[in-house]
Structure 1
Amino acid sequence: MLAARRLLISSATKKRYYATAQALEETTGGGDAPFFPSEPSGPFMKTTVPGPESKRIMKQLDNYQDTRSIFFIADFEKSIGNYIMDADGNAMLDVFAQIASIPIGYNNPAFLNLAKDPAFQTALANRAALGVSPNKDWVDSVEKAFMRVAPVGMSNVFTVMCGSCANENAFKTAFMYKAAKRRGDKDFSLNELQSCMNNQAPGSPDMSILSFSRGFHGRLFGSLAATASKAIHKVDIPAFNWPKAPFPELRYPQHLHQDYNQQMEQQSLHEVEQLLNKHDVAAIVVEPIQSEGGDNHASPHFFRQLQAICKKNDILFIVDEVQTGVGATGTFWAHEAWDLPTSPDMVTFSKKFQAAGFYLNQRLRPTQPYRLYNTWMGDPVRAMQAAAIVNEIHDKQLLDNVKSVGNYLQHHLNDNRKLESVRGQGAFIAFDLESPKKRDQFLTDMRQLGVNVGGCGDKTVRLRPMLTFQKHHADILLDTMERAL
């Protein structure tokens, strides 16, 4: 067992970071008063990670569930702000945030106070099947949680339980919309109604969703068919034969490789058009930043051209904001940075919203009820949490914080010669290490030093801080990285 140790920033590092911080402050604005005054001043490590108590609980849990992916056992009761406590009493700065899903810090008073609200308690005690009998305050929750921050041009929202479910139902919406357009004003034919029961055309048409190499859209059958980030996600599982275009493989920083990157993007767009000539495509789905697949970026011009191709071919444009949405990139929705001439056709969300679903327009509603449907159709409790998140983002000006801290982090990461291909938007940042082995060792070493960080792609480290992650947290991260590298 290690002696208990508090991991502090070296004085030399402090001077360098804070001198730069003062210069950056002039352009980014805003102070650094802590959002969580009672959170630890830095990581505090009592044991290795996982420690003996984590290992004991993991061994017990392994009797019932596969524990091979677990890093440590959390103590959420003692976690606070940007720090996660584990079962052994270790306090780690969390820059992974439950796979990018914690928006406003652990045990945020906004959530703790919400739990005391009688309306919240009513929703918790009486879970509604929202497609049958929503509670009288459901429309209020929809407006406060979802429509207040709806992407421009979006008038409807369909709520579900997870990001995979969101994409799955967005795909179904695209198929139903395209089939309805082809059918015109006619009702379903008897042949369609009978053939679909045997998974045969014309009732089950051979339509597809076009996605991109290295993309991740979930692990259900439709969303997994559109996914191509890691083979281990897909092997042994039957899949739809849907087309995939190559996502541009850019060089970073982008401004130093403009000619090459433009060529890569044009090749990708050309392949998209070629695939559309060969397949019956209902929609194209794309992430603003391919997250699980390695934090792969493309330019706003690429996405504008992609939308133009969709319009030219009369297919729908779905933006998967499950990981990039809800402020992580410095705007509430990452696609806001694209300056699209019109809104996407659908935008899917989950993770940091603590609720899941997709935005759409009235024209995409199915022609009959019960076609987009399940028992719960979302969760009123999670919708109330989402409303609290939206309020906290606005009240604390967290998007400004994300932009400021993201600028600060990227500035210092770009100065580190040991890092490759630093890239990011807001605080949604990643970099590569020399090899998968070195990346994996780096992640392990960072946890032992008190900073929880995650990976993606083959050799990428992804930073997924909460929206409450501030410059003093960034200094701890940067200092710890220097020691781990």
Structure 2
Amino acid sequence: MMCGSCSNENAFKNIFIAYQRRLRGDIDFTLEEKISCLMNQPPGCPKLSILSFLNGFHGRTLGSLSTTHSKYIHKIDVPSFDWPVAHFPQYKYPLDEHERENSDEDNKCLEEVEDLVVQYEKKGAPVAGIIVEPIQSEGGDNEASNYFFQGLQKIAKKYNAYFLIDEVQTGGGPTGKFWCHEYFNLETPPDVVTFSKKMQLGGYFHSSEMTPRQPFRVFNTWMGDPGKLIVLESIIRIIKEQKLLDNVVTTGHRLKSGLLQLENEFPHLINSTRGRGTFLAINATNEKLRDDILKRLKAKGVQSGGCGAQTIRLRPALIFQEHHADIFLDIFRQVLKQS
């Protein structure tokens, strides 16, 4: 695929194809299905749905946009499918001081997911798939526990839905593992994983059971960019040879420890350090302060970014090392002293 949006779009198609084949069995399409789909009508175009999460971001094209719920500007004026939207866990920090509250939050969100799956089955639009980011990026760098993701997978299996993990932001190593979902100790691999960004081109991989039986069902003009595959092969080789994932873990620990120290120094300005590897974030106490901090960082030569309502997110390259983390933390401290 060419980008993250079309990776998710085609993953949705693949999910719907596999879901319907499981219902139909390995028999040919009926004449009614063939004719009705050309008019956008069932049974050829069945009423199915994809469950997604509030504050999730999965793309700006029509199908993926129906699963995007971060900023109104992405969606306003654009028709959307009537697909279920659940709440993603919103944790209290520090995590080790709020274990009970955060566990309750996990269970509340999982209960809502299961309720929505049941509701949409009853209303005639069964959930064929569940899509989720390992860390909700555009929506505020929201993380969730291994328990939450394990629970999601169990719900998907219970109701014969496919489990799609969107690794467009997290894939390629920034969390310290090549795929962030490797942290989750899932019972089985996800049914589908989408990727783009650090991977140089868009795409997805899936279980063998999901392979369409007929050609051209998942297809596009260029099938991604074959030239970028050559680049990707070299990148993966360098990641392995230079042990860059180990570097991300080491540097990430230094960076996260430094952010936590700054939290202690400036509790009236920043809080809620979170993330994995160097894929980290911290909250300012309000949006105006966050934007001011970003401007001051940029004036001192640090390109950072915001996400969600008041979050500062860090996205250093895989070659970012501990001494680079020290330079950043020193500049960040200077900015906070001025704020």
The aligned residue for residue 246 of structure 2 is: 400
Residue in structure 2 matching 1:328, options 174, 199, 220 = 174
**Root-mean-square deviation (Å):** 0.9
Residue in structure 2 matching 1:210, options 51, 58, 61 = 51
C-alpha distance in structure 2 between counterparts of 1:450 and 1:268, whole Å: 40
C-alpha distance in structure 1 between counterparts of 2:163 and 2:67, whole Å: 14
The aligned residue for residue 228 of structure 1 is: 69
Give 1:253 deviation, angstroms.
2.2
C-alpha distance in structure 2 between counterparts of 1:416 and 1:369, whole Å: 55
Residue in structure 1 matching 2:21, options 169, 176, 180 = 180
C-alpha distance in structure 1 between counterparts of 2:42 and 2:295, whole Å: 51
Give 1:193 deviation, angstroms.
1.2
Residue in structure 2 matching 1:383, options 229, 235, 241 = 229
Residue in structure 2 matching 1:472, options 316, 320, 323 = 323
Q: Which runs of 4+ in 1 moved over 3 A?
A: none
C-alpha distance in structure 2 between counterparts of 1:195 and 1:178, whole Å: 18
Give 1:170 deviation, angstroms.
0.6
1:13-412 equivalences under 5 Å are 160-279=1-120, 280-412=126-258
Give 1:178 deviation, angstroms.
0.7
Report the secondary structure of 1:177's partner residue.
helix
Give 1:463 deviation, angstroms.
0.1
C-alpha distance in structure 2 between counterparts of 1:482 and 1:353, whole Å: 33
C-alpha distance in structure 2 between counterparts of 1:471 and 1:211, whole Å: 36
1:413 aligned onto 2:254: no
Give 1:185 deviation, angstroms.
2.7
Report the secondary structure of 1:369's partner residue.
coil
Report the secondary structure of 1:451's partner residue.
coil
The aligned residue for residue 123 of structure 2 is: none
1:426 aligned onto 2:299: no
The sequence identity of aligned pairs, in percent, is 50
Structure with greater Cα Rg: 1
1:10-45 Cα distance to aligned partner (Å, 9 max, x none): xxxxxxxxxxxxxxxxxxxxxxxxxxxxxxxxxxxx
Q: Which amino acid aligns with 1:427?
A: T
C-alpha distance in structure 2 between counterparts of 1:378 and 1:295, whole Å: 28
User: Where does structure 2 lack aligned partners over 5 or more consecutive residues?
Assistant: 121-125
Give 1:347 deviation, angstroms.
0.6
1:252-295 Cα distance to aligned partner (Å, 9 max, x none): 22222110001011010000100111111110011000000000
C-alpha distance in structure 2 between counterparts of 1:455 and 1:238, whole Å: 27
C-alpha distance in structure 2 between counterparts of 1:256 and 1:321, whole Å: 29
Give 1:368 deviation, angstroms.
1.0
C-alpha distance in structure 2 between counterparts of 1:349 and 1:242, whole Å: 22
State the TM-score, normalized to the length of structure 2.
0.95
1:437 aligned onto 2:288: yes
Give 1:198 deviation, angstroms.
1.3
C-alpha distance in structure 2 between counterparts of 1:243 and 1:205, whole Å: 16
Give 1:361 deviation, angstroms.
2.1
Q: Which amino acid aligns with 1:201?
A: P
The aligned residue for residue 448 of structure 1 is: 299
C-alpha distance in structure 2 between counterparts of 1:361 and 1:185, whole Å: 17
Give 1:378 deviation, angstroms.
1.4
Q: Which amino acid aligns with 1:186?
A: I
Q: Which amino acid aligns with 1:177?
A: A
Give 1:444 deviation, angstroms.
1.0
Give 1:189 deviation, angstroms.
1.3
1:109-130 Cα distance to aligned partner (Å, 9 max, x none): xxxxxxxxxxxxxxxxxxxxxx
Give 1:360 deviation, angstroms.
0.9
C-alpha distance in structure 1 between counterparts of 2:19 and 2:239, whole Å: 37
1:176-232 Cα distance to aligned partner (Å, 9 max, x none): 111111111321111111111111111111101001110010111111100101111
Give 1:478 deviation, angstroms.
0.7
C-alpha distance in structure 2 between counterparts of 1:175 and 1:311, whole Å: 15
User: Where does structure 1 lack aligned partners over 5 or more consecutive residues?
Assistant: 1-159
C-alpha distance in structure 1 between counterparts of 2:15 and 2:93, whole Å: 34
Give 1:300 deviation, angstroms.
0.4
